[in-house]
Structure 1
Amino acid sequence: MAADLTAERLLADIADALGEPVTDLHPDEDLFDRGLDSVRLMGLIETWRAAGARGADFADLAEQPTAASWARLLRG
């Protein structure tokens, strides 16, 4: 994962995509249950790839839809 793609940054980006305060999200909650959809996930992936993320694709992230899991996956 690129240096600026911290777990906190990922959570902030997800909160922004959901239109919710970051303080309302928990790193281990299921983001699809929270309202994230595939279109917004694709947008997040593109944002993170532009920032240097490598190693995980849509299917990887969709299988483990939590910010904590995504932080681990995007380090790869």
Structure 2
Amino acid sequence: MTDTSPSGSAPVLDIESVRADIAELLGEEPAAVGDDDDLRDLGLDSMRLMHLVEKWRARGARVDFADLADLGAPTVRVWSAHLSAS
């Protein structure tokens, strides 16, 4: 899952931890969520997205709902790239 390093630096939001968080929220196994699947097709809606944003913020990520919504296609690959660059 998503962790912070022992030194308290920024959270690690790699593609696998992002996938695991999304899968958990959708009630799926991580393997069922592909890198380029449109997450809306898997059942991710705006309320669930807000939940993810709050979860990632609580772990230290600098992210907004609008940031993720404005990235185009909502996919694990796109979101994890954005989160790791934040």
Q: For the superposition of Structure 1 and Structure 2, which TM-score range results when normalised by the shorter chain?
A: 0.7 to 0.9
Helix, strand or coil at the partner of 2:52: helix
**Which one scores higher on RCO, CA 8 angstroms, separation ≥ 6?**
1
Provide the rounded CA distance (Å) in 2 between the counterparts of 1:3 and 1:60: 18
TM-score normalized with structure 2 length:
0.76
Stretches (4+) displaced over 4 A: none
Compare 2-11 and 41-50 and name the one that shifted more: 2-11
Residue 35 (str. 1) matches residue 43 (str. 2): yes
In the alignment, structure 1 segments of 5+ residues that lack a partner are none
- Decide which structure has greater helix share: 1
Aligned Cα RMSD in Å? 1.3
**CA contact 1:6–1:71 (8 Å) conserved in 2:** yes
Deviations 1:5-25 (A, max 9, x none): 221111000000100111111
Residue 78 of structure 2 aligns with which residue? 69
* Alignment size in residue pairs: 74
Amino acid at match of 1:47: K
Provide the rounded CA distance (Å) in 1 between the counterparts of 2:30 and 2:42: 12
In the alignment, structure 2 segments of 5+ residues that lack a partner are 1-9
TM-score normalized with structure 1 length:
0.85
Residue 46 (str. 1) matches residue 50 (str. 2): no
Identity of aligned residues (%): 53
Provide the rounded CA distance (Å) in 2 between the counterparts of 1:6 and 1:73: 10
